[in-house]
């Protein structure tokens, strides 16, 4: 059975990293952007990382510019923004695509394991859904991720156990991470 440990990624400097290096850890894998309305998620993510990394949590940050051009900087610019504004210390990888023909295989796998089930209810969620649908039309059946700050929770065996859309309250994400630890 395939797990996240079967994938490689490039760190922000372009070096290959095997996700098997994270074997035995609980992972929260996130596609991010510096200019998104959800960018403040970096703050609770970093707080969670500082509190739970000694228990085995790793947060893996994958910047992506496929959603309304909200991460236009290069890898170093993104890293500088995140460390200066939010004090992030968790691993940040090279900017990738998460949708379409150029989608990173890791994100295609994650989204296949835990497909999109909606942004939730309410006017704000409906508006985001409509905007995301327009943005993702160009990716067709390869629109794996609907928006920035989609989070995938992976257990210590490398299996994807939950998907959290950016509209999910970060307290709920934190509770799920704590339970997985």
- Provide the annotated active-site residues: 36
Q: How far is CA 50 from CA 19, 77, 99, 169, in A?
A: 21, 23, 30, 19
Query: Which residues, 6 or more positions from 163, have their beta carbon under 8 angstroms from its beta carbon?
Result: 110, 111, 114, 115, 116, 117, 150, 151, 152, 153
* Look-up of token digits 């509209």: 167
Helix (H) or strand (E) run with residue 43 in it: helix 42-52
Cα torsion 4, 71, 88, 92 to 10°: value is: 30
Number of alpha carbons in the 13 Å side-chain half-sphere of residue 11: 9
Ramachandran category for residue 118: left, alpha or beta (phi over 0 → left; psi -120 to 50 → alpha):
left
């Amino acid at each position: 059975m395939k797990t996240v440990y079967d994938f490689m990624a490039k760190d922000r400097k372009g070096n290959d990293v095997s996700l098997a290096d994270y074997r035995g850890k609980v992972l929260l894998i996130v596609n991010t952007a510096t200019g998104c309305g959800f960018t403040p998620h970096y703050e609770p993510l970093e707080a969670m990382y500082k509190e739970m990394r000694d228990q085995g949590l790793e947060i893996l940050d994958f910047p992506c510019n496929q959603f309304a051009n909200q991460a236009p900087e290069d890898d170093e610019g993104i890293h500088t923004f995140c460390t200066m504004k939010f004090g992030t210390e968790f691993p940040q990888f090279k900017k990738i695509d998460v949708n379409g023909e150029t989608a990173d295989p890791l994100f295609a796998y994650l989204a296949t394991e835990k497909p999109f089930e909606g942004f939730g209810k309410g006017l704000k969620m409906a508006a985001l859904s409509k905007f995301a649908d327009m943005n993702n039309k160009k990716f067709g059946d390869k629109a794996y991720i609907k928006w920035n700050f989609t989070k995938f929770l992976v257990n210590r065996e490398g299996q994807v156990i939950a998907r959290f859309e950016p509209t999910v309250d970060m307290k709920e994400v934190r509770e799920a991470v704590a339970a997985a630890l």
